[in-house]
Structure 1
């Protein structure tokens, strides 16, 4: 009987050690996040490697990236002549833009660029409305268009200072 009791305690002790070891193993595991890739975001990449997925995600990000270069000042000799409006839609963009320039205090549109496609620029233009001599605070409203549907996709704005010398 004593041997039978001793065996029970040994088996119970081993069982507790095994359960304790399994418990410690699972509680000390680091939870690594599993990357989840949306099929809508990255279609056609069912069995792709991490590198292929990263490359495709970068392509999508690049297609949605937008930059603009616009000079913070525009200078005109007089209210009727061409001046130094500088607007650049870099070739890295995929979106055509159109810029409307309006006076900050009255919101009166004084210049509209028309369509500026990627890799195009405007380096000089005449205002649509004549202004008297002085300095004016204006806002350049940049309309961003879908290259396929020509529907406006967004708007961003930049402040600009206009100087009329004479």
Structure 2
């Protein structure tokens, strides 16, 4: 008599264990699905882009984002060939700091072989250009590879913010 009771108890115990395992597995599957399910992404907005008032629309945020991007965008226009009639004459160099920039620049041109600076522009503010210049020292007739180093400055503090370079050629015709 003890054997059938014991067998029944073991069956009941197995059923309980199997039932608990199934319930645990079901909870685990549902929990995993909930945890890893696709949620709507929450947009993260940089503090620089936050508008002054709390009821901003997407258009205002987009407009402000474009303003921040424009303020950090820098373009330079420089003719890749500076042409001089002779080594002592004024020559066309064409350096433009477009009005779309907010940064003043200063350009130094140095010869590639000697690293000698043969021209320094001084400050060129946005919407200004340099069309023709004299070199610091006369050069003989020929073609001179050079580097234009563009120093970019903060418009308020006048501190240097960065440097970029452009390869140019100086042509002396006579």
| Common fold by TM > 0.5 | yes
Matched, 1:60 2:83: no
Q: Which residue of 2 aligns with 1:158?
A: 166
- Distance change (3 Å), C-alpha of 1:69 and 1:40: closer
**Bigger Cα displacement from structure 2, 52-61 vs 133-142:** 52-61
Bigger radius of gyration: 2
User: Normalised by the size of structure 2, how large is the TM-score?
Assistant: 0.77
Query: How large is the RMSD of aligned CA atoms in angstroms?
Result: 2.6
1:57-87 alpha-carbon deviations (Å, 9 max, x no partner): 1111101100010000011111100001110
- Greater share of helix residues, 1 or 2? 2
Question: Is the contact made by 2:71 and 2:102 (CA closer than 8 Å) also made in structure 1?
Answer: yes
Question: Is the contact made by 1:76 and 1:163 (CA closer than 8 Å) also made in structure 2?
Answer: yes
Matched, 1:90 2:98: yes
How far apart, CA to CA, are the structure 2 residues paired with 1:51 and 1:62?
16
Match of 2:134 among 106, 119, 126: 126
Question: Is the contact made by 1:103 and 1:136 (CA closer than 8 Å) also made in structure 2?
Answer: yes
User: Normalised by the size of structure 1, how large is the TM-score?
Assistant: 0.80
**Bigger Cα displacement from structure 2, 37-46 vs 77-86:** 37-46
Unaligned runs of 5+ in 1: 1-11
Map 1:63-74 → 2, pairs under 5 A: 63-74=71-82
Q: How many residues of Structure 1 are paired with residues of Structure 2 in the alignment?
A: 155
How far apart, CA to CA, are the structure 1 residues paired with 2:53 and 2:74?
26
